[in-house]
Structure 1
Amino acid sequence: MNSPTNGRSIVLCKWQPQLAKDLIDRVRVHVVLDDFDVAHAGIDQEVLSRAASVHVVSSFNALEELGTAAVAIRLQDQGVDKVVSFTEFSQLGAGYLSEVLGLGVCVPGSVAGRDKRWMKHLLAVKGLAVPPFHSLPDRSDEAAVAALADQIDYPVVVKPAAGFGTMSTYLARGAAEFTAICESFAYEPQLASRQLTVETYIDGEELHVDSYWGADGPHFLFVSRYFAPRLTVQYGQLNTDGSELLCREDHPELYAELEALTKQVMDGLDLTETMIHLEVFRQPDGRLVFSEIASRVGGGWVSGLISHAMGRPIWSAMADIAIDGRTEPPRPDAPYLGVLHLRPDGPGRIVEVPTVAEIEATPGVIQAQVWRGEGDVLQMRHPSEWVAFAFVGADTADELHQLFKTIPQALPVRTVPVEHDDISPSG
Structure 2
Amino acid sequence: MRETGGDVAGRVLALNYDGDNDYASMLPELAGQIVVLSQEPLANVVGLAHYEQIDDLEKLPLGAERAHALHAEQPFSAVITDNEYEIVRCGQLRDEWGIRGQSAASALAFRDKVAMKDAARLAVEVPAYARAASRADVESFADKYGFPLILKPVDQGGSRGIQVLRRPQDLTTVSAQAWAYEMEIEQFVEGDIYHVDALVTPDIEFVSAARYSLPPLQFLHGSPLAHVLIEPDAPITRRLGGFLRALLDVMPAPESAAYHLEVVRTPDDRLVFCEIACRVGGAQIPELVQRTYGFDLVAASFRASCGLSLPQRPEFAGRVYSSLIVPSPGGFLRDAPAELPFDWVDRYTFRRAVGKAIPASRHSNDHVVCVVFHAEEHASALLRLQELEAFLLPRMIWAPVDDGT
How does the TM-score come out when normalised to structure 2? 0.84
Q: Does 1:301 align with 2:298?
A: no
- Cα 1:268–1:85 change in 2 (3 A) is farther
Aligned to 2:173: 181
What do residues 148-184 of structure 1 show as CA deviations (whole Å, max 9, x unaligned)? 4433421100111111111221111233312x13235
- Which one of the candidate residues 359, 371, 374 is aligned to 1:390? 371
How many angstroms apart in 2 are the aligned matches of 1:56 and 1:269?
34
How many angstroms apart in 2 are the aligned matches of 1:340 and 1:143?
39
SS class of match (1:89)? helix
Aligned to 2:3: none
SS class of match (2:226)? strand
SS class of match (2:157)? coil
Aligned to 1:84: 80
Aligned to 2:154: 161
Aligned amino acid, residue 21 of structure 2: Q
How many angstroms apart in 1 are the aligned matches of 2:67 and 2:48?
15
Residue 400 of structure 1: how far off its partner (Å): 2.9
Contact 2:220 2:327 (8 Å CA) reproduced: no
Aligned to 2:5: none
Aligned to 2:25: 22
1:88-167 correspondence to structure 2 within 5 Å: 88-103=84-99, 105-124=102-121, 126-137=122-133, 139=134, 143-167=136-160
How many angstroms apart in 1 are the aligned matches of 2:239 and 2:291?
24
Contact 1:279 1:292 (8 Å CA) reproduced: yes
Aligned to 2:4: none
SS class of match (1:208)? strand
Pairs aligned (count): 387
How many angstroms apart in 2 are the aligned matches of 1:89 and 1:414?
36
Aligned to 1:170: 163
Q: Does 1:214 align with 2:201?
A: yes
Aligned to 1:372: 352
Residue 277 of structure 1: how far off its partner (Å): 0.9
Residue 399 of structure 1: how far off its partner (Å): 4.3
Aligned amino acid, residue 120 of structure 1: K
| Range that drifts further, 371-380 or 159-168 | 371-380
Contact 1:55 1:69 (8 Å CA) reproduced: no
What do residues 309-358 of structure 1 show as CA deviations (whole Å, max 9, x unaligned)? 232543343455446232422234551322122346x4422222455xx2
Residue 23 of structure 1: how far off its partner (Å): 4.1
- Cα 1:148–1:131 change in 2 (3 A) is closer
Contact 1:70 1:100 (8 Å CA) reproduced: no
How many angstroms apart in 1 are the aligned matches of 2:9 and 2:274?
40
How many angstroms apart in 1 are the aligned matches of 2:118 and 2:295?
37
Q: Does 1:275 align with 2:272?
A: no
How many angstroms apart in 1 are the aligned matches of 2:143 and 2:13?
48
Gaps of 5+ in 1: 1-5, 188-192
Aligned amino acid, residue 169 of structure 1: I
How many angstroms apart in 1 are the aligned matches of 2:103 and 2:119?
14
SS class of match (2:175)? helix
Q: Does 1:335 align with 2:319?
A: yes
How does the TM-score come out when normalised to structure 1? 0.80
Aligned to 1:68: 65
How many angstroms apart in 1 are the aligned matches of 2:64 and 2:139?
41
Gaps of 5+ in 2: 1-7
What do residues 357-387 of structure 1 show as CA deviations (whole Å, max 9, x unaligned)? x25x741012334211121413145543222
Aligned amino acid, residue 274 of structure 2: S
How many angstroms apart in 1 are the aligned matches of 2:382 and 2:175?
43
Contact 2:259 2:276 (8 Å CA) reproduced: yes
How many angstroms apart in 2 are the aligned matches of 1:401 and 1:353?
23
